[in-house]
Structure 1
Amino acid sequence: MTSSTLRAALAALLLLPVAACAGSTTQKGSAGGTARDTLRWASEGSANNLDIAHGFNGASTLIQAAVLDTMVALDKQGAPAPRLAESWTRPDPKTYLFKLRQGVKFSDGTPLTADDAAFSLARHLDPVVASQAAAYFTSVKSVEPVGADQVKVTMKKPNSAFLALAAIAWQVTPRKLAEAHPKDLGSPEVGTIGTGAFKVDKFSITSGIELSRNPHHWGEKPALSKVEIKNISDPETLRLALQSGEMDATRDVSPREARKWKGMAGVKPTFFPGNNIAYLSLAVGNGPLKDVHVRRAIAHAVNRKAIADLMTQGNGQPAAVVMPPPQVSAVYGTAVPAFKEYPYDIAAAKAELAKSAHAGGFEMKVAYGSTGDSGTVMQAVAADLAKIGIKLTLEPMPADKYMNKMMEHDGLTVQFHELAYGTPDPGELLPDMVGSVAAKPQGFNFSGYSSPELDAKLEDLAASATDEEKRKHVTDMLNDLAEQVPYIPLYATNNGFALNEKFTAEVHTWTENIFAAVRPAGS
């Protein structure tokens, strides 16, 4: 998924507020500079929560991946691999048994238990928690510890995507901490602890985040001893911060600005295939957007190729369907079916609008985040739609306020999104697009397009026993989306990652913990 907006110490049974921790953790070298194993990271968006249940966005999950281990990982090919679970078995199609890795401790030194691991998944099923990751686990019936070192997960129905989804969202925290804070775990006031490579020393939405190496981490010791994350919302200011050496790294390298980044001395930008999709959502329950002919008119009126060219600058590709390219390739290889298309055609757009109850056009207020790419895209969309009599009144707002509005599904109309996903399995994305659970507040179905029939198709996809069955169910849903147009696919970009030459890193499409992949040059 995305993006964004999107992830202290334990005293007795409760976590003390992170604000109570010591101030700056910057290490100083002998010459008074920052230590060579301290990374200063610049982020265009600020993390709002270090628990995926309430911070399922790119800026937040970046930190979560460094601090909170999941039970399952993804390898370089995107296939499930061991993490906190050293192994697992599947006694029957609806049952998983996970065997916990031995000797794992949380960053406060307390042992990880099977009860902690089981509860960390079960809490996403609790409506009181109102987890943003709930749609990932709708097929889970129950989770329970079995003895001291096993966790049993029972499914309502088989789900072929479960392991991949667990690698993204089954973050493990202490049960006592999570139970004490069902709604504010991960907030700046509460914080979080995990078993990951790093621990949180400071968390402030305004002044930044500081991490340090977790002394109790069970795995390979990270090369970095500290990471300092600073929010720099303006893209050019962020770039100049790396150019001057004030900051060392970022993953917020806009493909449109690739030429500027490639010409910077001492900074190396890297681009690799992203598992993301940029699109417009049309709120199908809102006024004129209820009419499929209006939605088809919008699809014809938006010059998607021009927007894709503008926003990717050759570091990406136009999108034919609302699915990231790695997921499309995982399902179809090179034999992608031909889905119904809506080429840029003003005459066709006007003809579709004439079939609706809004032939003369209409006006609609549209909110968008004032930083990042949203403004550029929405201004282009508004200019295109004005040609057929649809007037969008654009209302910019701060990114964090806009994200909260989006997640509350508050007054949604025509919205721009760019969501990044963590696996090559379409069972991760499609519930976001058509699932009824995700159509509720805190879900990612911003169009509100869902039905019992689509929920049944999602269940069929999850139960697919063969690749052929999976292709059939994915194709059925993509055909439905192409006919009904709750979404307009725009483009997919490569991921941009920039690093000061003082450091090196090996990152790829499925890298989750970027900080653990970075090391000082020559080390």
Structure 2
Amino acid sequence: MLQFSRKKMLGLAFAGLSALVSLSPAAGYAADLKIGLYADVSTLDPHFNNLAPNISLSSHLFDALVNVDANGHLIPGLATSWKAIDQLTWEFKLRHGVKFSDGSNLTAEDVVFSLDRPATLTNSPGPFTSYTKQIISKQVVDPYTVRLKTATPYGPLALDVSTIFIVSKKAAQNATTDDFNSGKALVGTGPFKFASFKRGDRIELVRNDVYWGEKPAWDKVTFRILTSDGARLAALLAGEVDAIENVPPADLAKLKTNPKFTLAQKISWRTLFWTLDQSRDKSPDITDKNGKPLDKNPLKDVRVRQAISKAINRQALVDRTLEGLAVPASNIVAPGILGYADTLKVEKYDPEGAKKLLAEAGYPNGFGITLHGPNNRYINDERVVQTVAQFLNRVGIQAKVETLPLAVYFGKARAGEYSAALLGWGTLAGDFGLRTLLGTTNPDTGWGSWNWGKYSNPKLDQLVQSSLASVEQKQRQDFARQGAVLALNDYALIPLYHQYATWALRKGLKYTPRTDEFTFAYQFHPE
């Protein structure tokens, strides 16, 4: 049997205590953070596929010129400042002393290369070029100054470039997307560095000790891909992960009363609304009460659209169907987002008023309609469609329900196969939302790319164009608000609610919840 002296035993005890202290919050770093993600990450190439899970993960490895804070406001990133020096030119001043994870220095050449790169990825399934196509030229003034020129005045350029991550020109110049996925080309300025990537299973990152900003509290972060709600919750309860995003609504009450866990919540940028077919004289899902197709599309009448809005009890929808995980909406963007109009109020539940409007529009006995929606995209989305159908039936609109998996639903909705379709949309600027959701459809400019109802109003188009062309923020805000008021007073779409984003964490952790719903490991901290 080995014999230990008192001195040696004390030394070992002290060493063990020191090891524990090194993992404690007081020491500044903890060993490992494990997070359960609800959606798969398809690539680590930050310019290849414009999907939210990919963007969220890329934010750990790379930086953009401009960052977005937890409330959806623009803040300095790799650029310490930006300004319009004339109507067509924006100047970005770069942060000094920033190094890539390989120790090389960030320069303006890396910025120009990164802004050019998305257009070279011609096989991209989700291009980032919508954020760069406004830029017609790039000028390197000096190693820390870049000027970007646009063909016409364009106010949202700083918001656009907040989605373009800056990569190392040296590492990425001849790199393929596979080189990023393998880690070979993953040289960034973000708070973490690449460790491993097993698609559909996990991504492992380690702290970047040359990061220019506040160092993350974790030596290592593991993101587990747990797309099943049950599997994600089970992993949290079993201690296999420290936190999860997209908490299943049915399990919220159980987690709230469990002393081992805490919740972080915030109203997200995602607004849920109904898009209504307003372009066709005959609409595919509109019938009389006997199921015979109507020759006239009632959704083209603003009184019918207003009646549908009045028929919906939004507070009951939020309280019962969504289990409190939303707030009733009056706008297409969440409160605090550029273009949110305070003058717009949540439509009051008024079934008698809805019946009166229907009678005035020539439908005293209502009509038949099928409501379409996804069944695996938003919080309790299938139940939301069913609940709205019940509200419409009470005012004489005979509503049927059909829901589909997202992969099928989006394609059919965008192809115009539905009369009424549920959509959720998140944006950090109201004029962006109006342009995409309600602008007159134009494939050449990208306007109306998600305008499922084919709404068209030249006055709205002009207000949105004026907003986008405003380089002065207050002027842009005013135009965006005017556009929102015009569109929503015309019931161009029917807002329902703003969704909550919810994270669940083990006790002893805290997280800054974000309006954009992203999960950033570097914003988790030990308490």
TM-score by length of 1: 0.75
- CA pair 368-192 structure 1, distance change in 2 beyond 3 A: farther
Which secondary structure state, in structure 1, belongs to the residue aligned with residue 63 of structure 2? Answer: coil
Aligned to 2:86: 92
Quote the Cα distance in structure 1 between the aligned partners of 2:175 and 2:410.
Answer: 20
* Equivalent in 58, 73, 80 of residue 64 of structure 1: 58
Q: How does 1:164-183 map to 2 (within 5 A)?
A: 164-167=159-162, 169-174=163-168
- CA pair 453-176 structure 1, distance change in 2 beyond 3 A: farther
* Equivalent in 408, 416, 420 of residue 414 of structure 1: 420
Q: How does 1:187-266 map to 2 (within 5 A)?
A: 193-214=187-208, 216-253=210-247, 257-266=251-260
Q: For structure 2, list consecutive stretches of 5 or more residues without a partner in the other structure.
A: 1-18, 24-28, 285-296
Which secondary structure state, in structure 2, belongs to the residue aligned with residue 46 of structure 1? Answer: coil
- CA pair 236-174 structure 1, distance change in 2 beyond 3 A: same
- 2:140 aligned partner, one-letter code: P
Instruction: Verify: 1:377 aligned to 2:371, yes or no.
Output: no
- CA pair 354-45 structure 1, distance change in 2 beyond 3 A: farther
Aligned to 2:320: 310
Quote the Cα distance in structure 2 between the aligned partners of 1:82 and 1:304.
Answer: 38
- Is the contact between residue 373 and residue 385 of structure 2 (CA under 8 Å) also seen in structure 1? no
Instruction: Verify: 1:146 aligned to 2:141, yes or no.
Output: yes
Instruction: Verify: 1:81 aligned to 2:75, yes or no.
Output: yes
Quote the Cα distance in structure 1 between the aligned partners of 2:140 and 2:183.
Answer: 30
1:155-196: CA deviations, max 9, x gaps?
3344443324433x1322345887768999977999865321
Aligned to 1:480: 486
Aligned-pair distance for 1:515?
A: 0.8
- CA pair 143-343 structure 1, distance change in 2 beyond 3 A: farther
Aligned-pair distance for 1:77?
A: 6.6
- Is the contact between residue 81 and residue 92 of structure 2 (CA under 8 Å) also seen in structure 1? yes
Greater shift, 282-291 or 498-507, is seen at 282-291
What is the RMSD of the two structures over their aligned residues, measured on CA atoms?
4.4
Quote the Cα distance in structure 1 between the aligned partners of 2:465 and 2:386.
Answer: 38
Quote the Cα distance in structure 2 between the aligned partners of 1:68 and 1:47.
Answer: 15
- CA pair 427-502 structure 1, distance change in 2 beyond 3 A: same
Quote the Cα distance in structure 2 between the aligned partners of 1:326 and 1:509.
Answer: 10
Aligned to 1:38: 32
Which secondary structure state, in structure 2, belongs to the residue aligned with residue 275 of structure 1? Answer: strand
Aligned-pair distance for 1:96?
A: 1.7
1:209-251: CA deviations, max 9, x gaps?
3323235533333221222222333434433332221221123
Aligned-pair distance for 1:516?
A: 0.8
Aligned to 1:432: 436
Aligned-pair distance for 1:98?
A: 1.7
Aligned-pair distance for 1:502?
A: 4.2
Which secondary structure state, in structure 2, belongs to the residue aligned with residue 327 of structure 1? Answer: coil
- 1:434 aligned partner, one-letter code: L
- CA pair 322-194 structure 1, distance change in 2 beyond 3 A: same
1:234-292: CA deviations, max 9, x gaps?
43443333222122112323567543221123211122343332222335457528742
Aligned-pair distance for 1:133?
A: 5.0
- CA pair 448-109 structure 1, distance change in 2 beyond 3 A: farther
Quote the Cα distance in structure 2 between the aligned partners of 1:350 and 1:229.
Answer: 54
- CA pair 476-506 structure 1, distance change in 2 beyond 3 A: closer
- CA pair 189-283 structure 1, distance change in 2 beyond 3 A: farther
Quote the Cα distance in structure 1 between the aligned partners of 2:50 and 2:186.
Answer: 15
- Is the contact between residue 41 and residue 199 of structure 2 (CA under 8 Å) also seen in structure 1? yes
Quote the Cα distance in structure 2 between the aligned partners of 1:231 and 1:211.
Answer: 14
Quote the Cα distance in structure 1 between the aligned partners of 2:355 and 2:176.
Answer: 48
- CA pair 419-278 structure 1, distance change in 2 beyond 3 A: same
Which secondary structure state, in structure 2, belongs to the residue aligned with residue 264 of structure 1? Answer: coil
- CA pair 497-295 structure 1, distance change in 2 beyond 3 A: same
- Is the contact between residue 75 and residue 81 of structure 1 (CA under 8 Å) also seen in structure 2? yes
- Is the contact between residue 146 and residue 152 of structure 1 (CA under 8 Å) also seen in structure 2? yes
Quote the Cα distance in structure 2 between the aligned partners of 1:501 and 1:381.
Answer: 38
Aligned to 1:319: 329
Greater shift, 354-363 or 306-315, is seen at 354-363
- Is the contact between residue 223 and residue 519 of structure 1 (CA under 8 Å) also seen in structure 2? yes
Aligned to 2:156: 161
- Is the contact between residue 279 and residue 416 of structure 1 (CA under 8 Å) also seen in structure 2? yes
Aligned-pair distance for 1:365?
A: 7.3
Quote the Cα distance in structure 2 between the aligned partners of 1:403 and 1:181.
Answer: 35
Which secondary structure state, in structure 1, belongs to the residue aligned with residue 148 of structure 2? Answer: strand
Which secondary structure state, in structure 1, belongs to the residue aligned with residue 221 of structure 2? Answer: strand
Which secondary structure state, in structure 1, belongs to the residue aligned with residue 64 of structure 2? Answer: coil
- CA pair 395-490 structure 1, distance change in 2 beyond 3 A: closer
- Identity, in percent, stands at 23
Greater shift, 439-448 or 100-109, is seen at 439-448
1:377-410: CA deviations, max 9, x gaps?
122234444554554442422x5x2587389767
- 2:503 aligned partner, one-letter code: F
- Is the contact between residue 272 and residue 509 of structure 1 (CA under 8 Å) also seen in structure 2? yes
TM-score by length of 2: 0.74
Q: How does 1:394-409 map to 2 (within 5 A)?
A: 394-397=402-405, 399=406, 401-402=407-408, 405=411
Which secondary structure state, in structure 1, belongs to the residue aligned with residue 259 of structure 2? Answer: coil
- Higher Cα Rg, which structure: 2
Q: For structure 1, list consecutive stretches of 5 or more residues without a partner in the other structure.
A: 1-28
Q: How does 1:8-47 map to 2 (within 5 A)?
A: 36-47=30-41
- 1:377 aligned partner, one-letter code: V
- Is the contact between residue 115 and residue 144 of structure 1 (CA under 8 Å) also seen in structure 2? no
Quote the Cα distance in structure 1 between the aligned partners of 2:458 and 2:146.
Answer: 31
- Is the contact between residue 52 and residue 132 of structure 1 (CA under 8 Å) also seen in structure 2? no
Aligned to 2:468: 462
* Equivalent in 300, 308, 326 of residue 292 of structure 1: 300
Report how many residues are paired: 481
